[in-house]
Amino acid sequence: MSTAVLDKRPAGVSGPRFSQRYVPVLATLALLVLMYLFGTFQYEGFASGQGVANLFIDNSYLMVIAVGMTFVILTGGIDLSVGAVAALSTMVAATLLEDRGWSAPVVIPVVLLIGCTLGAAMGAVIHYYEIQPFIVTLAGMFLARGLCYVISTDSQSITDGLYSDIGLETIPLGGGVVITYSVLVALAAVLIAYMVLHYTRLGRNVYALGGNKQSALLMGLPIARTTIAVYTISGFCAALGGILFSFYALSGSPNTAIGLELDAIAAVVIGGTLLVGGSGFVLGSVIGVLVLGLIQTIITFANLESYFTRITIGLLLFAFILLQRLVFARRSPSS
């Protein structure tokens, strides 16, 4: 009974006491550890420090995007445009840098601003015209992907000095393990998101809005500002993810990140955030991203075809949604 009472406390203001809300995150963490142990015992050369670092290096852009998606899903919304916005960012960056000769310190803010603007516009349409997030962000996805192809249908490599420096330079962590600057950016994004969600008014509003929109409205919380803010954050994170991806790939391509929104949603769900909103953790999404990355690594080590990655992610998604359903059965009395 006490857990049921705990369960009703608004997330974000609660202390670190154990409650049912932690079950999905802990399950994901356990899964991550199990998968890592499995890989270690099964494959030679799996358990290296650099292997772990690579997990972060290869998935830093997804991590940033999943952080933004966590905000949106916590309010009970969804953002299908992130993959296309990330692709648009790589395209805009490549064009401005290479064709227009702009310098990177100018290009990066421009790209981030475009992401924020798109996100804010979608949030405004969702709130003021009461259209479902799903369909609005779908239109946003069409728009961003279409703009990519309008800019160019070919990919373009980025030769800018700052980009290649950031993309190729590594930071030694000792023991021969290195990470890239993108990892630092991603970790900073995670930290900031954690602070915002748990220690600011905006964070509380996000949880309240996702928990029960009607109550949030009656309590006088700024629904409009919060809704627009979360989609702006998601747009910003998508653009930042795009920038990190262009550091990583040193190119801009209109076909970048097709289906990335699904990976981001999967990471958030596997990370234990409730899809109806109101409950979840940004760190859970990070673990979710690492689980997805580890699946990829294991499948590479096992010499399996890449399509098994998608099947495995689908199965995991199924398992975790089922888990959410079981753990939170009392909370959502639908059907």
Partner 1 sequence: MSITRHRLFYPLALLLVLLVSNVFFTPTFFNLRMQDGHLYGSLIDIVRNGAPLLIVAVGMTFVIATGGIDLSVGAVMAISGAVATHHIAGLGNQDSTVGVLTAVAMALGFCTLLGLWNGILVAVVGIQPIIATLILMVAGRGVAQWITDGQIITVNSPAYKLIGGGYKLALPFAIFLAIAVLVFAAVISRKSALGMLIESVGGNAEASRLAGIRSRGLILLAYVFSGFCAGLAGLMISSNVSSADANNTGLFYELDAILAVVIGGTALIGGRYFLVGTLIGALTIQTLTTTILTIGINPNATLLFKAFVVFAMCLIQSPAFRAKVFRRRHRPSAPPSAPASKEQHVRVPA
Place of tokens 């310190």: 105
CB of 130 to partner 1, least distance (A): 5
Instruction: Tell the smallest beta-carbon distance from residue 326 to partner 1 (Å).
Output: 10
Minimum CB distance to partner 1 smaller for 42 or for 255: 255
- Structure tokens given for 221: 């919380």
How far is it, in rounded angstroms, from Cα 296 to Cα 60? Answer: 14
Query: Position 218: which residue type?
Result: L
Task: Please identify, using beta-carbon distances, which residue of 60 and 137 lies nearer to partner 1.
Answer: 137
111 within 8 A of 243, measured Cβ to Cβ: yes
Binding footprint of partner 1 on the chain (CB under 8 A)? 78, 125, 128-132, 134-136, 138-143, 145-147, 149-150, 153, 254, 262, 265-266, 269, 275-276, 305, 307-311, 313-315, 317-318, 321-322, 325, 332, 334-335
101: which DSSP letter? -
| Minimum distance of partner 1 from residue 269's CB (angstroms) | 7
- List beta partners, residue 156: 252
Report the residue number, 166 or 239, with the smaller CB distance to partner 1.
239
Nearer to partner 1, 69 or 166 (CB): 69
CB of 90 to partner 1, least distance (A): 16
Chain-centre distance for alpha carbon 195: 16
Minimum CB separation from partner 1 for residue 184, in Å? 30
- Of the pair 23, 121, the CB lying nearest partner 1 is at 121
**CB-based contact 75:210 (threshold 8 Å):** yes
In angstroms, what is the minimal distance from the CB of 148 to partner 1? 8
Kindly tell me which of 145 and 204 has the beta carbon lying closer to partner 1: 145
**Cβ pair 241, 62 in contact under 8 A:** yes
CB nearer to partner 1: pick between 44 and 130: 130
Q: How far is the CB of 306 from partner 1 (least distance, A)?
A: 8
The secondary structure of 60-88 as a DSSP string is HHHHHHHHHHHHHHHTT---TTHHHHHHH
CA distance 136 to 125: 7
Establish how many alpha carbons lie within 13 A of residue 232's alpha carbon, considering only the half-sphere containing its beta carbon.
14
* Dist. CA 277–CA 279, nearest whole Å: 6
